[in-house]
Copies of this chain bind each other. A is one copy, B any other.
């Protein structure tokens, strides 16, 4: 996947510039535009406190068509009242001027500190400047990806190439994560910022359905700190520039599978780059009564600070894992379950198992640790990605504001 980037699909241009919103001198205003109108779908946070750009974005994507995305980092434009909405609309207007389209064809996004009005003079200059630097090279893709990052230490990029009928199609995406990452399950929604491009032509209704399916099995399965953000947005633009048209049936399946892959690759990168993270924890719960139960158990384990600290310390303290399953609020019987951590069975059917604590501790010194809990009460399964909890998480978040 490594060679493909957000601008590999035909029909897109992007730019990212430094407008002075972030303290770090890295791109903080970005533009991503289709050369022609695109079929589009988007999912947003389910938080009842949602940012101005989420409100405007919901309106603009409703018709299933967009020309592009305008984004800033360093300021979330959330809890900013009417001025915030006015500013989000103004961002769309300026981007629309560049794209020569209607402001309603632009989806706005913001990420950063909550509760501060956007410094609009800087933002406006940034959008105009970005409009003058549009291109479709790898560097352009990198700069746009930089423009959505906050405490992320790495760009999160994924892409695949596949065929629809006889035509080659590319699907690519970027994401940001790091902190305030705790998606909520339920009706269509999503988490963090992620933008996806494809040069396939996909009808908007189908695109929306496939995007929700993909996001629910990827972004909605990541938790860093279980704090659902006010700004979470996932948006896909389909330019159709490859000439390949995705119909219902097998083509939709092929495209959907590719979308699942790209979203999962991005979700994994978000977990791996969680604030202060030194490793990814992959919690798999299977043979549960229902998928909802499996997910609740996996999420309880993944969100336990005690489990996350134990993982940080390479400590095979499995009691914390089993007890977290016990308070998930769903059916769970410790007398039936089996717990395997990085390949070593630690607990089975209500009984602790003998194991070499030193060896298991060594096995936890991995960049990806697998926690596998088998409930033996049904047939459903779920998986959640999270990361460990380190002192760096505290450092990053104890003085983010000032």
Contact = CB atoms under 8 A, between A and B. Distances in A.
Interface stretch (A14-22, A264-272, A345-353): A345-353
B394 A309 contact: yes
Interface in A290-342: 303-306, 309-310, 312-313, 315-320, 322-327, 329, 331-334
A78 B319 contact: yes
A374 interface: no
Interface in A363-398: 389-391, 393-398
Contacts of A23: none
A394 B49 contact: no
Contacts of A312: 394, 398
A324 B318 CA distance: 29
A209 interface: no
A179 interface: yes
A4 to B, nearest CB: 34
A125 to B, nearest CB: 23
A180 B306 contact: yes
Nearest to A183: B327
A158 interface: no
Contact of A49 (B182, B325, B391): B325
B327 A115 contact: no
A113 B347 CA distance: 14
A228 B305 CA distance: 12
A339 to B, nearest CB: 10
Given A313-B398, A352-B115, A229 B323 contact: yes
A309 to B, nearest CB: 3
Contacts of A361: 402
A116 interface: yes
Contact of A352 (B116, B323, B398): B116
A324 B227 contact: yes
A225 B389 CA distance: 12
**Interface centre among A46, A322, A397, by most B CB within 10 Å?**
A397
A49 B330 CA distance: 12
A357 interface: yes
Q: Which 5 A-B pairs have the closest CB atoms?
A: A114-B319, A49-B326, A313-B398, A309-B397, A228-B327
20 contacts: A46-B327, A47-B326, A80-B351, A81-B350, A114-B318, A115-B322, A115-B352, A180-B320, A184-B327, A227-B320, A227-B324, A230-B319, A305-B389, A309-B398, A310-B397, A310-B401, A391-B391, A391-B394, A391-B395, A393-B394
Interface of A: 46-50, 76, 78-81, 113-117, 179-180, 182, 184, 225-230, 303-306, 309-310, 312-313, 315-320, 322-327, 329, 331-334, 346-347, 350-352, 357, 361, 389-391, 393-402
Given A113-B319, A310-B400, A391-B391, 16 more contacts: A79-B322, A79-B350, A114-B323, A115-B346, A115-B347, A116-B352, A117-B352, A225-B304, A226-B303, A227-B306, A230-B319, A309-B393, A309-B394, A310-B397, A317-B401, A393-B394
